[in-house]
Amino acid sequence: MPVYAAPLREYQFLYRSVLKLERYSNLPGFAEAPLDTIEQILDEGAKFTIGTLFPLNKVGDEHGCIWTPEGVKTPPGFRAAYTAMVEAGWPALGNDPEYGGQGLPNVVNLAFNEMVCSTNMAFGMYPGLTHGCYSAIHEGGSPEQKRMFLPKLSSGEWGGTMNLTEPHCGTDLGLLRTKAVPQADGSYKITGQKIWISGGDHDLADNIIHLVLARIEGAPQGVKGISLFIVPKFLVHADGSLGARNGAVCAGLEEKMGIHGNATCVMQYDDATGYLIGTANEGLKIMFVMMNEARLGVGLQGLAMSEIAYQNAVAFAKDRVQGRSLSGAKNPDGPADPIIVHPDVRRMLMDSRAFNEGARAFLMWTALYGDLYLRSPDEAIRQKALDYMGLMTPVLKAFLTGEGFRHISDGMQVHGGSGFTEHFPASQYLRDSRIAMIYEGTNGVQALDLVGRKLAAKGGRAIFTFFAELDECIAAHESDARMVPFTTALRESKAQMQEGAQWLMQNGMSNFDNAGAASHDFLQVFGYTALTYMWTLMAKAAFDGGLQDPFNDAKIKTGRYFIERMLPEAGAHLAKLKAGSESMMALSAEAF
């Protein structure tokens, strides 16, 4: 049986000792929910996800979704679980009170979402996309649109989707062809085919609100002629009641390697009634609100799946006896020692653990800036928050999913042959999580976003601010002898990241292929540096909390492991980066 314990103590440590959320108790959202309350909420969240979603994870994998002419059927139990989730108010946790939300900070919502994803990633994508749809309409919708759609999207009574991809265009949205024809009443008729639409149809909610990118007849070619439309599955009367079925139908489901419990739909729009959001031809701006949120959410999936894979690998490694410890029997009365005694098993477990804890801190640290951007009255803080959100989002998306997948694969490896069978959950974790490196912009696209846009934005203001923050952290703690291993590592790691950034400035502008060639490796160096920073902050908090508490003691030991045995990867990435693009691009395309 799969195991899962929600990382409640980790959240507590991050909230209280690392991020020190009590500093923000005067801000809206934080004010309404003191830390005690937040922790009670997450306690309940753990009970809900473990009690309701976790048992459905394998069910979803085995049954998958089924297409019928009447609509898509989700796996057995999904509808009841979804209803229970909506009734308990979970989807609205971080949403705007004006539309029925509970207004809690996103750092709280993200913690709940981690539990949702760890216990049932495929299920979690339904409310996840719905929330993205909520956010886009909240950002760009008219007052009337907000009034009509937000309350039910907030509560989860209605589902939401994002429709970008078409068969011939994924990353390159400029190629999209779905067309929108203006109608006399101000609405549009939308026609075209969209693919890979997560939750495009299902039986969980009474209505589904599709956000669809389309080109208004006569609009410019390329990305400058793309508009965003609300296309409800069922039209909505002015009183909120449901009207006619709209011409938006699921034409088929994709067969996929994983996340079988989530319906990945081919959506056919035939003269479907749609409502323009915001300004014509500026649809991408609003869609990017949704995309950026989704990218953080996908980074979270990398962490959440690595966490559940780790926990199950630990359980297996403690239970399975095989061979003897190299340093003498640890279970002399048994036929063999549990395999957790073997260094190479430890290596994989510690790699995962040190990554997970660092990644969670990085995600929460960034999410806090998202909260400060929305809630702080201080313009300087809001600007820094916006800069950081832009800079960190591609790193979180790509680093957490790419490295997370490595650790998920290690979780399978700890299981030996058992891991490859479907009797244990390792296979599903590996299969489910692999998509996270791909969707919401492949990790390569994230790396290009980082080096091509985010790094140089506003004269590099965001990254210079980050470097200064790292320097401050080093200066603040390097005189503390206990902290020296961490501050030393942070200084070296920051120097590597700076060297990479300088190389990019010197070589990436004159030859864009150099920037492209360096992008993945720079993102990796960034990720390792960010996690080193997190481990430095966590080490300080753990020392302050006192090592007599085994939790704090384990934090220090895990942080040391990260520095000694994981951070060396950054040096390899820097060396690769500095090799430039020449050997990468030397072969002609025909030579392949």
Chain residues 149-188 in contact with a second copy, contact rule CB under 8 A: 165, 168-172, 175
Site string for a second copy, 341-380 (x = CB under 8 A): xxxxxxxxxx--x---------------------------
State the nearest-atom distance from the C-beta of 348 to a second copy, in Å.
8
295 makes contact with a second copy (CB under 8 A): no
State the nearest-atom distance from the C-beta of 177 to a second copy, in Å.
10
Tell me the two tokens of residue 224.
């400058």
User: What CA–CA distance (Å, rounded) separates 23 from 28?
Assistant: 12
443 makes contact with a second copy (CB under 8 A): yes
565 makes contact with a second copy (CB under 8 A): yes
Q: Which amino acid is at 385?
A: A
Residues numbered 495 to 514 that lie near a second copy (CB under 8 A) are 511-513
416 makes contact with a second copy (CB under 8 A): yes
Residues numbered 32 to 51 that lie near a second copy (CB under 8 A) are none
541 makes contact with a second copy (CB under 8 A): no
516 makes contact with a second copy (CB under 8 A): yes
Antiparallel, parallel or unpaired: β 188-198 and 264-277: antiparallel
Q: Which of 280, 302, 278 is nearest to 290 (CA)?
A: 278
Q: How many CB atoms lie within 10 A of CB 107?
A: 26
Please select the residue that binds a second copy; options are 213, 290, 430, 504, rule is CB under 8 A. Answer: 430
Single out the segment in contact with a second copy by CB under 8 A; choices: 70-78, 148-156, 317-325, 498-506. Answer: 317-325
Q: Which is nearer to a second copy, 430 or 463 (CB)?
A: 430
State the nearest-atom distance from the C-beta of 59 to a second copy, in Å.
15
487 makes contact with a second copy (CB under 8 A): no
434 makes contact with a second copy (CB under 8 A): yes
Single out the segment in contact with a second copy by CB under 8 A; choices: 235-243, 367-375, 427-435, 499-507. Answer: 427-435
State the nearest-atom distance from the C-beta of 332 to a second copy, in Å.
15
326 makes contact with a second copy (CB under 8 A): yes
State the nearest-atom distance from the C-beta of 574 to a second copy, in Å.
8
309 makes contact with a second copy (CB under 8 A): no
State the nearest-atom distance from the C-beta of 468 to a second copy, in Å.
28
482 makes contact with a second copy (CB under 8 A): no
Single out the segment in contact with a second copy by CB under 8 A; choices: 85-93, 150-158, 235-243, 424-432. Answer: 424-432
Q: Is 70 helix (H, G, I), strand (E, B) or coil?
A: coil
Angstrom distances, CA of residue 281 to CA of 162, 287, 453: 17, 12, 21
Q: Active site residue: 139, 254, 440, 499, which one?
A: 440
Q: Which of 144, 147, 290 is nearest to 210 (CA)?
A: 290
Q: Which is nearer to a second copy, 147 or 320 (CB)?
A: 320
Contact criterion met (CB below 8 Å) for 405 and 399: no
Q: Which is nearer to a second copy, 169 or 495 (CB)?
A: 169
Question: Is residue 125 classed exposed, middle or buried when 0-12, 13-18 and 19+ CB atoms within 10 A define those classes?
Answer: buried
**How does DSSP assign 134-185, residue by residue?**
HHHHHHH--HHHHHHHHHHHHHTSEEEEEE--BTTBSS-GGG---EEEE-TT
318 makes contact with a second copy (CB under 8 A): yes
Helix (H) or strand (E) holding 515: helix 512-545
State the nearest-atom distance from the C-beta of 389 to a second copy, in Å.
23
Q: Which is nearer to a second copy, 137 or 515 (CB)?
A: 515
- Cα distance from N-terminal residue to C-terminal residue, the chain: 46
417 makes contact with a second copy (CB under 8 A): yes
Residues numbered 219 to 258 that lie near a second copy (CB under 8 A) are 254-258
Please select the residue that binds a second copy; options are 322, 383, 465, 498, rule is CB under 8 A. Answer: 322
Tell me the two tokens of residue 329.
């029997």
Q: Which is nearer to a second copy, 307 or 371 (CB)?
A: 307
> Which residue bears the tokens 């890979």?
196
SS (H, E, C) 30-47: CCCCCHHHHHHHHHHHHH
Q: Which is nearer to a second copy, 22 or 172 (CB)?
A: 172
Tell me the two tokens of residue 41.
């909420």
545 makes contact with a second copy (CB under 8 A): no
State the nearest-atom distance from the C-beta of 420 to a second copy, in Å.
5
Contact criterion met (CB below 8 Å) for 449 and 394: yes
Please select the residue that binds a second copy; options are 437, 456, 470, 504, rule is CB under 8 A. Answer: 437
Angstrom distances, CA of residue 271 to CA of 186, 187, 265: 14, 11, 18
- Active-site residue 440, yes or no? yes
| 500 CA to centre of own chain | 25
CA angle 68, 73, 74 (to 5 degrees): 155
Q: Which is nearer to a second copy, 540 or 573 (CB)?
A: 573
Please select the residue that binds a second copy; options are 143, 335, 377, 459, rule is CB under 8 A. Answer: 335
Please select the residue that binds a second copy; options are 12, 83, 281, 413, rule is CB under 8 A. Answer: 413
State the nearest-atom distance from the C-beta of 549 to a second copy, in Å.
12
User: What CA–CA distance (Å, rounded) separates 274 from 276?
Assistant: 7
**How does DSSP assign 268-333, residue by residue?**
EEEEEEEEEESSTTBHHHHHHHHHHHHHHHHHHHHHHHHHHHHHHHHHHHHH-B-S--TTS-SSTT
User: What CA–CA distance (Å, rounded) separates 581 from 584?
Assistant: 5
Residues numbered 261 to 290 that lie near a second copy (CB under 8 A) are 264
4 makes contact with a second copy (CB under 8 A): no
Q: In the beta sheet, which residues pair with residue 72?
A: 67
Helix (H) or strand (E) holding 194: strand 188-198
442 makes contact with a second copy (CB under 8 A): yes
User: What CA–CA distance (Å, rounded) separates 53 from 61?
Assistant: 13
Q: Which residues are catalytic?
A: 440
